């Protein structure tokens, strides 16, 4: 009787041990199987490249579904397009409406926020404005004055920057916006390729194009054009020189548009004709000394090229926007940082006129929490966004 | 009896749980192992970027570039080709009538003359076959006024086996059915095409006679006669990738007032400009560096475009079908023929 209970306990313990052993064994087997599958999968996926052609195995590489012909919406450029609004004012003439101007409309002009052709005849297909001035190269200054007055009267409110171009200039608007994004349109500033002659402060080459800030245009119209001692109203003179003189006279600063290497972004000639050596007339006109170590003329973030014919607009459009090289990514981002606003030039105008002009500008731009700057104390104030 | 079975099951459960517990304990101890597994998995799931694929492709699809030139152009055009697009060839050889080792120029012993261009080309192809015929996959012929985008050329060539008898370029039509590839736009032949040319064409005066005919047309005749197929290099929208004229004449629409619409093999597409263009012709001396600037250095602010991948490589059957289709193709050009021929 005593032996029987002990025997039962032994049997039960034996069963427990057998179960334990089987459990461990089964678990190990399952684990090993799982690992085996995992290792196989890793081997298959280890190489991101297609198999080499030199191996006899002619397996095709794993292919992604081909990307659609329409690229995804360009978020960064779209944001820039709406944040840095540029009005493009193109000076043209009736005889070049359909040999030059129309091709701007079909190429780079499409990327302006607003495109206006300034001519002496209206043209519905082109959308040109008929200014009441005479044609001719010697009349370019009165034509430019009239164009700027028209833009100020009709489109000043809606845009931040005002670009002037000739009808043989090509602009890369994305690079222009990226450059301008770092600057404040409420500062009296303008940009282009700065030349050194005629005006002490320098002036911007007309052919390479130039861009005026909202404040610069405002000052020009309100303070400059109404004062013939600052802005001449004679019917002759070089457009870019006269404008440079005017803008300097109303305290608009000629900004530095060069890149980090000191290379020009606004190019007053075309690389299609002169590259990498610029034409002979260019170097003596430059306001800034060119970098010593560089044999290059042009920035890698170039903004404009001058002296292009209509055919060349399409060549540039194709090379810059359409042609893609496999493995080469030419798109840049992120945007350069905004620069701290500065007031390098002292304002030598009468305080009364300045204040009046400024108040007028504030009224035209209805914004909340606008602070009135106090010029007497020379403190710099910023407009709140 | 029931008690025995119960104990057995209990043992099983305890065993399994114990093993899992031990495994968990091990994994907890070896954090490094766990991390490396995760990293390996992440790495495995990534595909190569477009830039990485292009770098890999450079050595996968090896192209020898053979540029025809003449002595007066050595210090101008040759130097600029060498400093721009020629750098992206796997091997770059200049064919001339005067040697210049510094520049990599070879003298093939044919005096410079308009009528000798074909003979010069034959000598060049013989030289390349003898010295490099088995070292490269594709052999590009270009002039010293051609600009070639090598990355896009490799992109085009990748799906095809260099052991197929095949060549690509801008296809022209002529009196023999297959036509020929424009010399100025450049053409690229496979290793087998080059082999067939040297082994079966050049020593056969019927297949490949020596005469004063234009180089590109005559080479096209020889290639046809040894079974080398003229491939279609156009993109998915039917746009030409090899351009036999300069960009100024090819953009934005196909030219209508010169010889090209009469000579081209395929029906011209009105709106020109392939997104994966390969070559331009009639490049001026200063334009080599200009294209280098506009194509490779000029940047535009914006979101990078979607990453592309390589087209699938054709298997033997697919390739054979494609070659048969191309071999039987007739010109689709509906324009009147060029009268000269």
Instruction: Pick A282 or B302 by higher pLDDT.
Output: A282
pLDDT recorded at residue A343: 41
Q: Searching chain B, which residue's CA lies closest to the CA of residue A13? A: B7
pLDDT in the model for residue A376: 31
For residue B8, list chain A residues with Cβ-Cβ distance below 8 A.
Answer: 15-16, 18-19
Chain A segment 21-60 residues within 8 A of B by beta carbon are 21-28, 31, 41-42, 45-46, 48-50, 52-53, 58, 60
Domain A73-338 has what CATH class?
Answer: alpha beta
- pLDDT of B38: 45
Q: Is A210 helix (H, G, I), strand (E, B) or coil?
A: strand
**How is B129-148 classified by DSSP, letter by letter?**
HHHHTTT-SEEEEEETT-EE
| Residue range B183-193, pLDDT digits in tens | 999 999 999 99
Average pLDDT over residues B196-214: 91
> Which tens digit of pLDDT belongs to each residue from B119-140?
899 999 999 998 999 899 999 9
Distance CA A19, CA A10 (A): 14
pLDDT computed for residue B336 by the predictor: 86
* pLDDT > 70 fraction of chain B, expressed in percent and rounded: 90
Q: What fold is seen in the domain B50-299? A: Spore Coat Polysaccharide Biosynthesis Protein SpsA; Chain A (3.90.550)
Per CB-CB distance under 8 Å, the chain B contacts of A77 are 301-303
Nearest Cα of chain B lies from the Cα of A294 at a distance, in angstroms, of 14
B154 CB-near residues (< 8 Å, 6+ apart): A326, B54, B57, B58, B60, B61, B63
Per-residue DSSP letters for B278-314? -EE-S--TTHHHHHHIIIII--EESPPPPPP-PPPPP
Give the pLDDT of residue A179.
96
Candidates A376, A370, A361, A380; CA nearest to A156 is A361
R_g (Cα) of chain A, nearest Å: 34
- What pairing do the DSSP bridges indicate for beta strands B279-280 and B147-148? antiparallel
Residue A357: what pLDDT? 41
d(C-alpha A178, C-alpha B20), whole Å: 59
pLDDT of residue B49: 84
- Measured between CA atoms, the residue of chain A closest to residue B236 is A69
Q: Comparing A203 with B30, which gets the higher pLDDT?
A: A203
> Which one of B48, B156, B302, B319 would you mutate to disrupt binding with A, by most A Cβ within 10 Å of its Cβ?
B302
Which regions of chain A are under pLDDT 70? 1-5, 30-76, 292-295, 333-335, 337-385
Mean pLDDT of chain A: 78
Which secondary-structure segment (H or E) carries B167?
strand B166-168
With CB atoms and an 8 Å threshold, state whether B303 touches A76. yes
- Inform me whether the pLDDT recorded for B2 exceeds 80: no
Q: Return the closest-CA partner of residue B135 out of B187, B199, B91.
A: B91
Q: Using CB atoms, which residue from B20, B294, B312 is nearest to A319? A: B294
Instruction: Supply the pLDDT for residue B270.
Output: 81
Question: In A, residues 296-335, which contact B (CB 8 Å cutoff)?
Answer: 298, 300-302, 311-312, 314-333, 335
Average pLDDT over residues B267-293: 92
Higher confidence at residue A14 or residue B168?
A: B168
Write down the pLDDT at residue B25. 59
Of B133, B136, B140, B174, which Cα lies nearest the Cα of B68? B140
Please report the pLDDT score of residue A27 as a whole number: 75
Task: Report how far apart, in Å, the C-alpha atoms of A50 and of each of A231, A282, B90, B160 are.
Answer: 68, 51, 20, 14
- Rounded to 10 degrees, the C-alpha dihedral A37/A41/A44/A46 comes to -130
More confident call, A115 vs B22:
A115
Of A19, A52, A328, the CB nearest to B12: A19
- Which residue has better confidence, A236 or B58? B58
Side-chain half-sphere of B265: how many Cα atoms within 13 Å? 29
More reliable by pLDDT, B36 or A116: A116
**pLDDT for B231 beyond 90:** yes
Per-residue pLDDT, A363? 38
């Amino acid at each position: 009787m005593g032996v029987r209970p002990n025997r039962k306990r032994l049997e039960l313990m034996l069963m427990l041990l057998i179960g334990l052993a089987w459990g461990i064994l089964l678990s190990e087997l399952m684990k090993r199987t799982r690992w085996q599958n995992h290792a196989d999968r890793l081997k298959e996926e280890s190489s991101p490249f297609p198999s080499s052609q030199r191996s006899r195995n002619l397996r095709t590489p794993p292919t992604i579904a081909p990307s659609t012909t329409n690229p995804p919406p360009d978020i960064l450029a779209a944001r820039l397009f709406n944040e840095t609004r540029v009005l493009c004012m193109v000076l043209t003439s009736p005889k070049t409406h359909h040999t030059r101007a129309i091709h701007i409309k079909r190429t780079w002009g499409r990327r302006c926020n607003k495109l206006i052709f300034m001519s002496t005849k209206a043209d519905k297909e082109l959308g040109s404005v008929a200014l009441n001035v005479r044609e001719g190269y010697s009349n370019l200054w009165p034509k430019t004055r009239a164009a700027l007055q028209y833009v100020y009267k009709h489109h000043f409110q809606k845009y931040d920057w005002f670009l002037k171009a000739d009808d043989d200039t090509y602009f890369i608007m994305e690079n222009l916006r990226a450059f301008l994004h770092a600057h404040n349109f409420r500062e009296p500033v303008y940009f282009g390729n700065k030349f050194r002659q005629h005006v002490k402060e320098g002036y911007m080459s007309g052919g390479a194009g130039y861009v005026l800030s909202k404040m610069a245009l405002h000052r020009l119209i309100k303070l400059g054009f109404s004062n013939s001692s600052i802005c001449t109203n004679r019917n002759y003179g070089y457009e870019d020189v006269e404008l440079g003189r005017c803008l300097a006279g109303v305290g608009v600063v000629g900004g530095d548009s060069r890149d980090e290497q000191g290379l020009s972004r606004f190019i007053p000639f075309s690389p299609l004709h002169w590259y990498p050596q610029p034409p002979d007339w260019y170097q003596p006109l430059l306001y800034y000394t060119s970098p010593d170590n560089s044999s290059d003329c042009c920035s890698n973030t170039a903004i404009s090229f001058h002296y292009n014919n209509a055919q060349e607009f399409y060549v540039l459009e194709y090379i810059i926007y359409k042609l893609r090289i496999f493995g080469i990514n030419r798109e840049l981002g992120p945007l350069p940082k905004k620069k701290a606003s500065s007031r390098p030039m002292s304002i030598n105008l009468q305080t009364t006129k300045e204040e009046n002009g400024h108040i007028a500008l504030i009224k035209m731009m209805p914004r909340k929490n606008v602070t009135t700057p106090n010029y007497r104390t020379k403190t710099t104030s910023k407009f709140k966004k | 009896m029931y008690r025995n079975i119960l104990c057995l099951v209990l043992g099983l459960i305890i065993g399994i749980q114990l093993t899992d517990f031990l495994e968990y304990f091990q994994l907890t101890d070896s954090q490094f192992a766990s991390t490396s597994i995760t990293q390996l998995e992440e790495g495995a799931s990534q595909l190569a970027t477009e830039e990485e694929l292009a770098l890999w492709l450079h050595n996968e699809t090896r192209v020898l570039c053979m540029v025809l030139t003449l002595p007066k152009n050595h210090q101008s055009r040759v130097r600029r080709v060498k400093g721009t697009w020629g750098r992206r060839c796997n091997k770059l050889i200049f064919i001339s009538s005067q040697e210049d080792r510094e520049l990599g120029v070879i003298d093939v012993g044919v005096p410079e003359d308009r009528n000798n261009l074909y003979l010069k080309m034959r000598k060049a192809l013989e030289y390349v076959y003898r010295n490099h015929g088995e070292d490269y996959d594709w052999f590009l012929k270009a002039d010293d006024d051609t600009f070639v985008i090598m990355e896009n050329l490799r992109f085009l060539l990748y799906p095809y086996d260099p052991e197929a008898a095949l060549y690509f370029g801008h296809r022209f039509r002529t009196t023999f059915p297959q036509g020929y590839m424009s010399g100025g736009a450049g053409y690229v032949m496979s290793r087998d095409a080059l082999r067939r040319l040297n082994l079966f064409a050049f020593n056969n005066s019927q297949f490949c006679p020596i005469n004063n005919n234009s180089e590109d047309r005559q080479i096209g005749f020889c290639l046809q006669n040894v079974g080398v197929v003229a491939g279609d290099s156009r993109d998915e929208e039917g746009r030409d990738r090899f351009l036999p004229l300069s960009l100024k004449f090819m953009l934005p629409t196909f030219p209508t007032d010169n010889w090209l619409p009469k000579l081209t093999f395929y029906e011209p597409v009105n709106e020109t400009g392939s997104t994966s263009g390969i070559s331009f012709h009639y490049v001026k001396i200063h334009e080599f560096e200009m294209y280098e600037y506009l194509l490779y250095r000029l940047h535009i602010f914006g979101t990078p475009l979607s990453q592309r991948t390589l087209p699938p490589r054709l298997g033997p059957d697919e390739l054979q079908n494609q070659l048969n289709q191309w071999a039987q193709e007739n010109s689709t050009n509906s324009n009147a023929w060029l009268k000269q021929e």
